[in-house]
């Protein structure tokens, strides 16, 4: 599932801009390509059964970024908040809220 989603995200890139982190902070990308899980980070769902983990391999939860961004900002609270707002603009608040509500585990979002 994870590799399929990563390939899907790569295929969706239209402007050769693979690092979504560029929308938050201008930086020099390296040549590594990572898929980052944001709304539900992998470390909070990796102990669930594989079938439940599949829920989190979703484009609402994941994005592509370079190694530089992933290492320096990819797991920061600022990026999670920014990404959440970005996904709400992209998919709509209702869709993102429903995705979070229907997850097999719950997260606390700071307001």
User: pLDDT tens-digit profile of 66-76?
Assistant: 999 999 999 99
Domain ranges (residues) in the chain: 2-76
Across the range 79-97, mean pLDDT stands at: 96
Torsion, Cα 31 33 39 40, to 10 degrees, reads -130
In which element (H, E) is residue 45 found? helix 42-45
- Reading the block at residue 58, the tokens are 């979703």
Give residue-wise pLDDT tens across range 26-60.
Answer: 999 999 999 999 999 999 999 999 999 999 999 99
C-alpha closest to that of 37 among 2, 82, 88: 2
* Res 14: pLDDT: 72
> Looking up tokens 């600022």, which residue turns up?
78
pTM over 0.75: yes
State the Cα–Cα distance between residues 105 and 57, nearest whole angstrom: 14
Structure confidence at residue 13 as a pLDDT band (50, 70, 90): confident
State the Cα–Cα distance between residues 46 and 6, nearest whole angstrom: 17
């Amino acid at each position: 599932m994870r590799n399929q989603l990563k390939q899907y995200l790569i295929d969706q890139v239209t402007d050769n801009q693979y690092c979504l982190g560029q929308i938050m902070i201008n930086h020099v990308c390296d040549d590594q390509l990572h898929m980052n899980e944001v709304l539900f980070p992998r470390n909070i769902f990796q102990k669930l059964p594989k079938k439940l983990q599949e829920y989190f391999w979703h484009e609402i939860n994941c994005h592509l970024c370079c190694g530089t961004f992933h290492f320096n900002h990819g797991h920061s609270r600022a990026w999670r908040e920014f990404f959440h707002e970005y996904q709400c603009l992209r998919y709509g608040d209702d869709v993102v809220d429903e995705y979070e509500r229907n997850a097999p585990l719950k997260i606390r979002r700071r307001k």
